[in-house]
Chains A and B, each alone.
Chain A
Amino acid sequence: MSPDAMAIQAAEVDAGRTLVQVLHEWVTTVDHKRLGILYVLLALMFLLIGGLEAIIIRIQLMRAHNDFVSPQVFNRMFTMHGTTMIFFVVMPVMFGFANYLVPLMIGARDMAFPRLNAFGFWLTAFGGLLLYFSFVGGNGLYGAGNAPDVGWFAYAPLTSRAFSVGHSTDFWTVALLVSGFGSIATAINIITTVLCLRCPGMTLNRMPLLAWLNLVMAALVILAVSPLTAAQVMLSVDRYLGGHFFDTQAGGSAALWMHFFWIFGHPEVYVLVLPAFAFASEIIPVFSRKPIFGYPAMVAATVCIGFVGMTVWAHHMFTIGMNSAANAFFVLTTMIIAVPTGIKIFNWLGTIWGGKIQFKTPMLFCLGFLFQFLIAGLTGIMLGTAPFNWQLGNSYFVIAHFHYVIVGGIMFCLFGAFYYWFPKVTGRMLNETLGKLHFWLFLIGFHLTFDTMHIPGVLGMPRRIYTYEPARGWDTLNLIITAGAFIQGFAILIFVVNLVFSCFRGAKAGNDPWDAWTLEWSVSSPPPSYNFASIPTVGSRRPLWDRKHPEDPDYRYE
């Protein structure tokens, strides 16, 4: 069990309840804060599992012709690693933070649909368990492998029954189908909460950026997860009801699956990254001691990313033989999306500019994010250039690029968010020394792994190969990549130790340890049930600034 749960549980057992009663409360809870914590704990559990899979992949690839695992096991590992990290780590953790923070930050007492909220969580949780149950149940009657091994985007026709016997692909399909419904439920909840439950005075124009970004994220979830869900149903129809949507041997189309998957898959990137932007947009101002630079532009850029993000999906498919006009169109949309993303980076820079930067752990992670997201964006432009993509696509360069986005960008923001809001959730500070150690080790490991990883891609190393030939210039690079992976793994362990340690021994946080400006810091840590004894009224984007600086309140300038 995780530290947060243990602390809360310990407190409650002290209050004279039995363990069973406490567990029952957690299982049946519809409280947005508890569900938020449950989401985060679920994600942390899967993070450790997915990380272990990554380590297995890296050990196998550390030298040419290594035989640490068989090709079959390797293929399962990269499929499970990708699926786990996207669907059962980053998505749930983002939903967890949104669940916990959005009502607190907009001055609401809970999410709009508390029971739908619980329903969404349990669907996601059981979806994840179902995916991992494939290790036990995936053999089916055929004795043909267990966990899914079709890759996380599961291109047809590898998923058809001719090429994927047994039930491993079915576990993958149903797990994503189930958790997809959970995601859609949570997305509807976030949208409704943000639109309908804001406290008096909080117009859309005064809403914290975190709420804005999560609003756009939730809209994208509905638009993106629905086609994925439809595709999963179609795939199951193919596999069990004799359908031929993706069955190329009977006239179906493999490209159709690619379109369905990537019209989910690309907006999904923004689903994951917008909440990370949200964390950065809250943390960077507080530790620069300045308001966010260009709030309206930040909101506009977010909404713009949401719209343009729906039109770029086929840049994952530059190599499938689309005609030149289609390729050029998707080059254009892909490059256009660099503009609002660039605006965001510049506005964060503008926020830092002229501030008084405090290098606390949350800020360190967010600064790391800024530098790394810059690089990730630029390699994204390279990949968005279709002819360059014909070389780099499906190579290790792509792997390096999207890990730069997901680890260097999203995970760094996420760790920043953990250090920033942990005091609010548990009432105790995370240890700064361990936090800084975690940051520096993770930073070093990250750059060792993912800076290096660009190069074998340029040297012709494709992704998803369980081994490679010596003498292609890939050996040493892969060894360095693996070394970096171990350093990152070690840093994550420090983080987990810090979570557990600080939960019990951390310094008391008080209500507002960072001298911050949004509503969640106005209530006790952890916040009381239903958050606000009386619903607050706000007059600007930084209600606590106004309270702390009545001589110079924000609303004069907005």
Chain B
Amino acid sequence: MVEKHKTEWRVIVSRAMAILVLLGGILLAAGLCNATPASDNTVPSIFDPRSTTAESIDHLSRFVLAITGLIFLVVFSLLTYATVKFRSRDANTNREPAQVYGSTQIELAWTVIPILIVVVLFFATARVIHAIQDAPKPPTAVEVTAIGHQFWWEFRYPVLGVVTANELHVPVSDPNHPTPTFLKLLSADTDHSFWVPQLAGKTDLIPNRLNQMWIDPQQTGIFLGQCAQYCGTQHAKMLLRVSVDTPEAFDAWIHAQKQSANRDDKEVAGRHVFETTACVNCHAVGGTNATGRFGPDLTHLMSRSTIAAGAAENTNENLRLWIQNPDAIKPGSLMPAMKLSDPDLDALVRYLETLH
């Protein structure tokens, strides 16, 4: 009786283990396949592609998932079957099972079949690598130079003559008349990586090296991403927003960004504070004597919805807090606390708020 209990217990243990591992697998598979996006598009899932490059990666990924899933099911079933079937049922007999040393045919089979799978996977992969990396640049492409900084993004449109930060604007691309955006990736300091999962895979920004990538977004909207290569203390808050605009909205945005700063003489006091403190060492405002490049260009600060590389909403309170005590928003960022008097701070923020 005791023996029987023991045996049953063993069965339960092995089945429980099988179920656990199976559950794990299902959880994994479910997570991978059904990572469906939230409707407001704040979940940057790689399986919710909105651009040609991300889409071809998505197709390949699903193909690889299917093959690996199949391998998983087969080997998992075999392992589970063997574990349950060949458990020692009677602990008391000392009889050893048949001693089998190997089998050339079987071993050959499980060598050749994986080799065939590898060949298939390799060619499927190589095709996508070629399609993405060696794609020619059409003359209609928008050119952007992205420069990684600790801990923010600088975007320059050399042809269009626009400089902005952290929020990249690109035109939506019509499949019939594609206007993809080609990015040259550079870094001003350490390694960074440009990753907006719904638009493309990531590419690193490495100092003293020129990298390239392209996106071809098929749908307008805001797409979220962030730096994906550890770059220092505030790597976590080096966030990235890509605004995919209609062609008209993109042209309007470019037109607005090309204007130099709004010379609104009402805020002359704040402008004085800006231009006579350390602000100008790092920040540029077009059309003024502020030409620093260490921090983001502020010419059209108010056209951006966030500050501090996406760490905070672009609001009056956040601007004040960011200037007085950046560590409250982003500890370890390279923006110094400006330690201004309250009237100066008020004037400065009022001035910044004229930079549309």
Question: Interface on A for B, CB 8 Å cutoff?
Answer: 70-72, 75, 149, 151, 155-158, 162-163, 248-249, 251-255, 288-291, 293-297, 319-321, 323-324, 327-328, 331-332, 335-336, 338-339, 342-343, 345-347, 349-350, 352-359, 364, 367-368, 370-372, 374-375, 378-379, 381-382, 385-395, 443-444, 447, 451-452, 454-455, 458-460, 462-469, 471-473, 549, 552, 554, 557-558
CB-based nearest A residue for B234: A71
Is B339 an interface residue when CB atoms closer than 8 A count as contact? no
State which of B120-128, B245-253, B266-274, B286-294 sits at the interface with chain A. B120-128
What B residues does A466 contact at CB under 8 A?
236
Is B349 an interface residue when CB atoms closer than 8 A count as contact? no
Cβ A460 vs Cβ B45 within 8 A: yes
Query: Which residue of the partner chain, among B13, B57, B132, B207, contacts A249 with CB atoms under 8 Å?
Result: B207
Q: How many angstroms from the CA of A554 to the CA of B234 in the assembled complex?
A: 62
> How many chain-B residues does the 8 Å CB contact rule pick out?
103
Cβ A291 vs Cβ B99 within 8 A: yes
Cβ A346 vs Cβ B110 within 8 A: yes
Total of A-B residue pairs, C-beta within 8 Å: 319
* CB of B221, distance to nearest CB on chain A (Å): 15
Please list 20 pairs of residues, one from A and one from B, whose beta carbons are closer than 8 Å in the complex, sorted by A's number. Answer: A75-B230, A75-B235, A293-B101, A293-B103, A294-B102, A296-B102, A320-B211, A321-B203, A328-B125, A336-B118, A347-B107, A349-B79, A357-B83, A374-B72, A382-B61, A382-B64, A386-B129, A455-B32, A460-B43, A471-B38
Q: How many angstroms from the CA of A249 to the CA of B208 in the assembled complex?
A: 7
* CB of A384, distance to nearest CB on chain B (Å): 8
Q: How many angstroms from the CA of A234 to the CA of B332 in the assembled complex?
A: 29
Please encode chain B, from 85 to 117, with 1 for each CB lying within 8 Å of some chain A CB and 0 for all others.
011110100001111111100110011001100
Q: How many angstroms from the CA of A388 to the CA of B56 in the assembled complex?
A: 10
State which of B21-29, B152-160, B276-284 sits at the interface with chain A. B21-29
Please encode chain B, from 20 to 49, with 1 for each CB lying within 8 Å of some chain A CB and 0 for all others.
110111011001100100100011111100
Query: Which residue of the partner chain, among B28, B31, B88, contacts A357 with CB atoms under 8 Å?
Result: B88
Cβ A557 vs Cβ B31 within 8 A: no
CB-based nearest A residue for B54: A391
Which 4 pairs, one residue from A and one from B, show the smallest C-beta to C-beta distance?
A: A390-B201, A460-B44, A465-B236, A321-B211
Please encode chain B, from 177 to 214, with 1 for each CB lying within 8 Å of some chain A CB and 0 for all others.
00000000100011101010100111110111101100
Q: How many angstroms from the CA of A505 to the CA of B129 in the assembled complex?
A: 60
Q: A254-B206, A343-B107, A346-B107 are in contact. List 5 more A-B contacts (CB 8 A).
A: A158-B191, A323-B133, A356-B88, A374-B76, A549-B96
Cβ A339 vs Cβ B121 within 8 A: no
Query: With A452-B27, A473-B38 given, is the CB distance from A460 to B208 under 8 Å?
Result: no
Query: With A163-B232, A293-B101 given, is the CB distance from A378 to B239 under 8 Å?
Result: no
Q: Which of B14, B47, B232 counts the most A-chain CB atoms under 10 A from its CB? A: B232
CB-based nearest A residue for B40: A471
Cβ B197 vs Cβ A460 within 8 A: yes
Q: How many angstroms from the CA of A516 to the CA of B54 in the assembled complex?
A: 54
Cβ A353 vs Cβ B82 within 8 A: yes
CB-based nearest B residue for A156: B191
What A residues does B134 contact at CB under 8 A?
324
Cβ B86 vs Cβ A393 within 8 A: no
Cβ B190 vs Cβ A157 within 8 A: yes
* CB of A283, distance to nearest CB on chain B (Å): 14
Cβ B102 vs Cβ A345 within 8 A: no
Cβ B32 vs Cβ A387 within 8 A: no
What B residues does A288 contact at CB under 8 A?
86, 97
Cβ A462 vs Cβ B195 within 8 A: yes
What B residues does A293 contact at CB under 8 A?
100-103
Query: Which residue of the partner chain, among A336, A349, A382, A471, contacts B82 with CB atoms under 8 Å?
Result: A349
Query: With A339-B114, A391-B57, A451-B27 given, is the CB distance from A252 to B106 under 8 Å?
Result: no
